Amino acid sequence: MKLVTGGAFQGKKEYAKLRFGLKDAEMTDGALASFEEIFQCRCMYHFHEWVKKGLKEEWDLAGLADRLQASNPRILLISNELGCGVVPVDAFDRKYRETAGRICTEIAAKSSQVIRVVCGIGTVLKDA
């Protein structure tokens, strides 16, 4: 499992395509994906939006990192960093931000590689 993270519009998707040799057809948009798709796809971008959709639809997200590692260990997840900036006033938005952050933390712990992208430049945070 691999995780690419960074701020919005920082070039994460393009960086991942080049670094890992991915084609558009191998990349699933998390904002549009079903719960099951994450366990089958090669790469999911907008992973943070998949988490948001999961909260809205009340999916069981507990233990997601373990389930992914067991069923789709080759997956590459691309997610925005959500923890910086102003704390949202809306209760759902606060829950979403916290949940996405905690899930990404669990995924990073189990990932073989974690890369942070800023201005299209990747910095390897973890390479196990």
Q: Per-residue pLDDT tens for 21-68?
A: 999 999 999 999 999 999 999 999 999 999 999 999 999 999 999 999
What is the structure's pLDDT at 14? Answer: 98
Quickly tell me which residue has 């233990």 as its tokens: 63
Domains of the chain: 2-127 (3.40.50.300)
Q: If you average pLDDT over residues 95-116, what whole number do you get?
A: 97
Burial zone of 71 (CB within 10 Å; 0-12 exposed, 13-18 middle, 19+ buried): exposed
Question: How is 18-75 classified by DSSP, letter by letter?
Answer: HHHT--GGGEEETTT--TGGGGT-SEEESHHHHHHHHHHTT---TTHHHHHHHH-TT-
pTM value is: 0.95
Residue 85 pLDDT exceeds 90: no
